[in-house]
Amino acid sequence: MNKAELITRIAKKSNTTQAVASAALEHTLEAITEGLVEGETVTLVGFGIFTPKRTAQRMGRNPKNGEPAVITARNTVSFKLSKGLKDALNP
């Protein structure tokens, strides 16, 4: 499912227009992103937990030539499924 299909489903389930559903989804994603950028954990009960993480700098290998390469430190996000979502995926 892509973003357009998700907006269509939201509009049908909430009995509203796609424009309203699109705005709601955009605002939701912006709020989640802002929380993660600020270092907050975002918990959506019944869905899962988004947690910001920092990966350390490490050594790796260039896959083209096998030479050692430095992989820079970066921020990333981990996601942990809620029990409800796990149960829905694995009946």
- Side-chain half-sphere of 74: how many Cα atoms within 13 Å? 7
Query: Can you give the pLDDT at residue 20?
Result: 96
Q: How many domains does the chain contain in total?
A: 2
Judge if 46 and 85 occupy the same domain: yes
- Mean pLDDT confidence for 39-63: 95
The percent of residues above 90 in pLDDT, for the chain, comes to 98
Output the domain CATH number for residue 54.
4.10.520.10
Residue span of the structural domain in which 23 resides: 1-38
Task: Report, as an integer, the average pLDDT of 28-50.
Answer: 96
Return contacts of 51-54, CB within 8 angstroms, 24+ apart.
51/77, 51/78, 51/79, 51/80, 52/76, 52/77, 53/77, 53/78
Question: Is the predicted pLDDT of residue 91 greater than 90, yes or no?
Answer: no
Q: Considering only CA atoms, which of 48, 52, 54, 28 is closest in space to residue 40?
A: 52
In the predicted model, what is the mean pLDDT of residues 10-38?
A: 96
